[in-house]
Amino acid sequence: MRHVLALDQGTTSSRAIAFDAQGRVAAVAQREFAQHFPHPGWVEHDAAEIWATQRTVAQECVQKLASALAGQARAAIKIEAIGITNQRETTVLWDRATGEPVGPAIVWQDRRTTAHCDDLRRAGKAPLIQRKTGLVLDSYFSATKLEWLLDQIPGNRARAEAGELAFGTVDSWLIYKLTQGRVHATDASNAARTMLMNIHTLAWDEELLSLFNIPRAVLPRIVPSSGVLGETAPGVLGEAPIPIAGVAGDQQAATFGQACFAPGMAKNTYGTGCFMLMNTGDVAVASRNRLLTTVGWQGPEQAGERRTAYCLEGSVFMAGATVQWLRDGLQMIQSASEIEALAASVDDTRDVFLVPAFAGLGAPDWDGRARGTLVGLTRGTTRAHIARAALEAIALQSADLFGAMVGDAGIQLTELRVDGGASRNDLLMQLQADLLGVPVVRPQVTETTALGAAYLAGLATGVWSGGAQIAAQWAVGRRFEPMLPEPERLARIGRWREAVERARGWARDGVES
């Protein structure tokens, strides 16, 4: 039996999942790693720990697969290819010679460069950036993070200009380590999130490099999302080399794994953050509602050409991370799995709203200065009401994205495909359907981020023949129909928007952390 190994490097954990030719999970391994918050609004990872955990789980996954197939022929445990999917925008800078980081990995949630983005906005640079990259000028993306690493850590800029340092998002970092420095590359979907690539030419943009003062010498080569770009070095994951044949940012990979191949199809992933993407085909649709226009993926070569799919995207910074805050910050629950039962123990929130703007607000507000806000508390409020408000906050933020997406695309979406860890929470999915007013559809295989990376790699190596075969393997696990009357849905969203304005007004009123 043929297998593809997906390396799924997320914000809070590294995972490896082996899939068989039917797209079924055959083996999985996962390890969490440390989160670092050195200052308010700063979020960092240790890139060396990311690599160590990712390599360890990859080895564990292969061992589990071998054990599961111990009674079969040796050829049955061959890994045909590796696909990589990763937390996006997180920025790593390392020494080319030693392969060691020369600073912290600055995470996508990090807000340290918000003031610099404000300066660029006042200088009138936002329209230029959006026109070329499809992105809103924000510290969320990699460009200002990389600029900070070059300027704030002594010696980095001079070494970068001399060609001694390499920059990459996490996919590039993993590729570099897997190949022991032989390949320094990123795919078009990840490059699209750096604020340095022109999404229309699919190349690094000289004007943007100049604007952010980024030396070209640090940049990786941009490659297609599906295609063999290199192979593992001997000893990294066993002695036999394995082709690295698929790469995509986590949200683009999830869209591919959900088989959203036709324009107008949309998915929402519930992870640390929450990300909604809609396929717009080969057209990069410019948003009027502060969504992002991004590269979805660059597919495998067919008849000498590669098809590039574009997407509209909306980002919620705090989804599963909100539940983590209830667990770790407030110590309201012992484990994330407890929240569904606790929230379901009450019928509503008693008009309590939690706006989890702990890292600012993403689309459609894009307010880096907004702060987390809990409103509507009374003496009758219990931790169950707050737990339910936390789940509603995830669904309400996603409803904001859904409305903006429909407005931009001019298409009335008839369903939303969902995935990610929190999509297994039935109460959250029902709340989501109620607040969207359309069905929410959860597939049988919810590991669609890793599955998308596996599909991209398998397409390049002949494990799967094409999109039609992949679409045929996608199957409904459960469908959640909306049950909330339309007047109540609109009223709830209206009250939510009032709470959001409270969160945004905190900084406007002159009170900042």
Question: For residue 120, is pLDDT > 90?
Answer: yes
Q: Is the pLDDT of residue 343 over 90?
A: yes
Average pLDDT rounded to a whole number, residues 114-127: 94
Look at strands 185-187 and 13-20 and give their pairing. Answer: unpaired
3-state helix, strand, coil in the chain (%, to 5): 40, 25, 40
pLDDT at position 88, please? 93
| Sign of the dihedral defined by the CA atoms of residues 457, 458, 461, 464, in that order | negative
373 annotated as a binding-site residue: no
Query: Is 89 labelled a binding residue?
Result: yes
For residues 79-101, average pLDDT: 95
CATH number for the domain formed by residue range(s) 3-251: 3.30.420.40
The reported pLDDT for the residue numbered 339 is: 92
The rounded distance, in Å, linking the Cα atoms of 9 and 3 is 19
Position 286 scores a pLDDT of 87
The reported pLDDT for the residue numbered 512 is 45
The candidate with the shortest Cα–Cα distance to 57, out of 84, 75, 37, is 84
If we measure between CA atoms, which residue out of 336, 373, 330, 378 comes closest to residue 353?
Answer: 373
pLDDT at 342: 94
Do 3-251 and 320-394+421-437+488-508 fold alike per CATH?
yes
CB contact set of 152 (below 8 Å; sequence gap of 6+): none
| Residue 306, marked binder | no
The answer to whether 232 is annotated as binding is no
Mean pLDDT to the nearest integer, 344-362: 91
Handedness of CA 431, 435, 439, 444 (dihedral sign): negative
Q: Please provide the average confidence, as pLDDT, over all residues in the chain.
A: 91
- Residue 287: pLDDT band by 50, 70, 90 thresholds? confident
Amino acid at position 59, single letter: Q
At 146 the pLDDT is: 98
Is 140 annotated to bind ligand? Answer: yes
Confidence of residue 365 (pLDDT cuts 50, 70, 90): confident
* 230 annotated ligand-binding residue: no
Q: What is the pLDDT of residue 60?
A: 94
455 is an annotated ligand-binding site residue:
no
Q: Is 49 helix (H, G, I), strand (E, B) or coil?
A: helix
Mean predicted confidence (pLDDT) in 142-146:
97
* CATH placement of domain 320-394+421-437+488-508: 3.30.420.40
AA letter at 418: V
Whole-angstrom CA distances from 485 to 316, 432, 481, 489, 512 are 25, 14, 12, 6, 39
Mean pLDDT, residues 129-138: 93
404 vs 55, 133, 278, 362, 435, CA distance in Å?
A: 39, 19, 11, 12, 14
The pLDDT of residue 124 is above 60: yes
- Which of 245-249, 406-410, 440-444 is predicted least confidently? 406-410
Q: Is 88 annotated as a binding residue?
A: yes
What residue spans define the domains of the chain? 3-251, 255-315+439-480, 320-394+421-437+488-508
- What's the pLDDT at 511? 45
Model confidence band, residue 59 (pLDDT cutoffs 50, 70, 90): very high
Between 153 and 359, residue with greater pLDDT: 153
The structure tokens 């590269």 sit at 295
Q: What is the pLDDT confidence band of residue 513, given thresholds at 50, 70 and 90?
A: very low
- What separation in angstroms does the CA of 12 have from each of 69, 109, 170? 30, 12, 13
Q: Is the pLDDT of residue 301 over 70?
A: no
Q: What would the two tokens of residue 398 be? A: 């996603």
Quote the percentage of the chain above a pLDDT of 90: 70
Model pLDDT, residue 442: 95
Which one is predicted more confidently, 410 or 387? 387
Whether the Cβ atoms of residue 167 and residue 190 lie closer than 8 Å to each other: no
Q: Is 498 helix (H, G, I), strand (E, B) or coil?
A: helix
SS3 413: coil
368 is in an annotated binding site: no
User: Sorting pLDDT into bands at 50, 70 and 90, what band is 35?
Assistant: very high
Q: Terminus-to-terminus CA distance in the chain, angstroms?
A: 55
Note the pLDDT tens digit of each residue in 372-400.
999 999 999 999 999 999 999 999 999 99
pLDDT at res. 508: 58
The mean pLDDT value for 215-239 works out to 93
In 81-109, which positions are buried (b, 16+ CB within 10 angstroms) versus exposed (e)? bbbbbbbbbbbbbbeeeeeebbbbbbbbb
11 labelled as ligand-binding? Answer: yes
- Over residues 155-213, the pLDDT tens digits come to 999 999 999 999 999 999 999 999 999 999 999 999 999 999 999 999 999 999 999 99
Q: Stretch 402-410: mean pLDDT, rounded? A: 85
- Mean pLDDT across 130-135: 94
320 annotated to a ligand binding site: yes
189 labeled binding residue: no
Q: How confident is the model at residue 309 (pLDDT cuts 50, 70, 90)?
A: very high
pTM of the model: 0.85
